Amino acid sequence: MFAYKMQALVLGGVFGGLAGLFLALKQASVVPSDYSTNVTFFAYTALLIGGAARVLGPVIGAMIFWLLMGGIGSFFSQATSGSNPLIPDWAMSDIQASLVRLILVGLGLMLLMIYRPQGIFGDRKELAIDAR
């Protein structure tokens, strides 16, 4: 079991390094501001939603996260725009609407960590410190 986890760690590092290489080649530069806290938050949230113990957990977590961010963002964007908006301007402006999606995703992440810390597709045995 230890050998499989080490292989997964090494392969993950290789794929992460290759992704960084291709990002640097695409942008023709590497600057620290490219790796802001938003990128780290989004990647970590996608990993936590799907669950790290399964192979497809992070992939499906990224899809769910993308759908949530896009769906909630477009809903609030449309609900606060137009001549007769669903949400009046005194309650929420269009600038605040773009921030509400981050608040709702953060709240959902907190609830996920309270009620299902291993993620949607995760395995509770992987979280055990001394699982034998």
Q: Which tens digit of pLDDT belongs to each residue from 96-114?
A: 888 888 888 889 889 988 9
Q: Rounded CA gap, 64 and 84, in Å?
A: 31
Q: Which tens digit of pLDDT belongs to each residue from 25-43?
A: 998 888 888 778 888 888 8
The closest alpha carbon to 42, from 58, 19, 31, 29, belongs to 58
pLDDT of residue 43: 86
pLDDT above 80: residue 125: no
pLDDT of residue 25: 93
The closest alpha carbon to 102, from 32, 11, 38, 21, belongs to 38
pLDDT of residue 118: 82
Whole-model pTM? Answer: 0.69
pLDDT of residue 26: 92
The closest alpha carbon to 47, from 65, 61, 36, 37, belongs to 61
Q: Which residues contact 46 (CB under 8 A, 6 or more apart)?
A: 58, 61, 62, 64, 65, 66
Q: Which tens digit of pLDDT belongs to each residue from 47-79?
A: 888 887 777 888 898 999 999 888 988 888 888
Count of C-beta atoms within a 10 Å radius of residue 58: 21
